[in-house]
């Protein structure tokens, strides 16, 4: 696999992490919260909290990999 292909994969995974976080927040705001009140984890539901943590972790890891490869 070429270096350019690997960097494209890293960028794709970063965007995947961003999308997971955004979708988790949209699910929280539009589907879960209106009828149930505040959630158990900092006001978020378990589903949204899991998505936020997973998306942020993916984004952080692949941002770190990208910076490491550039150096």
Summarised one tens digit per residue, pLDDT across range 5-64 is 787 888 888 888 888 888 887 776 656 555 666 666 666 777 778 888 888 888 888 888
Alpha helices in 2-71 (DSSP H): 3-27, 33-36, 46-70
Residue 45, Cβ neighbours under 10 Å: how many?
19
Nearest to 24 by CA among 68, 57, 65: 57
Q: Would you state the pLDDT for residue 42?
A: 67
Domain ranges of the chain: 3-70
Q: Would you state the pLDDT for residue 32?
A: 55
Look up the pTM and report it: 0.69
């Amino acid at each position: 696999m070429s270096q350019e292909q690997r960097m494209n994969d890293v960028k794709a995974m970063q965007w995947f992490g961003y999308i997971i976080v955004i979708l988790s927040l949209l699910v929280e705001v539009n589907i879960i919260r209106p009828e149930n009140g505040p959630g158990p984890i900092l006001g978020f539901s378990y589903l949204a909290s899991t998505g936020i943590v997973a998306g942020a972790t993916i984004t952080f890891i692949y941002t770190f990999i990208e910076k490491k490869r550039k150096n």
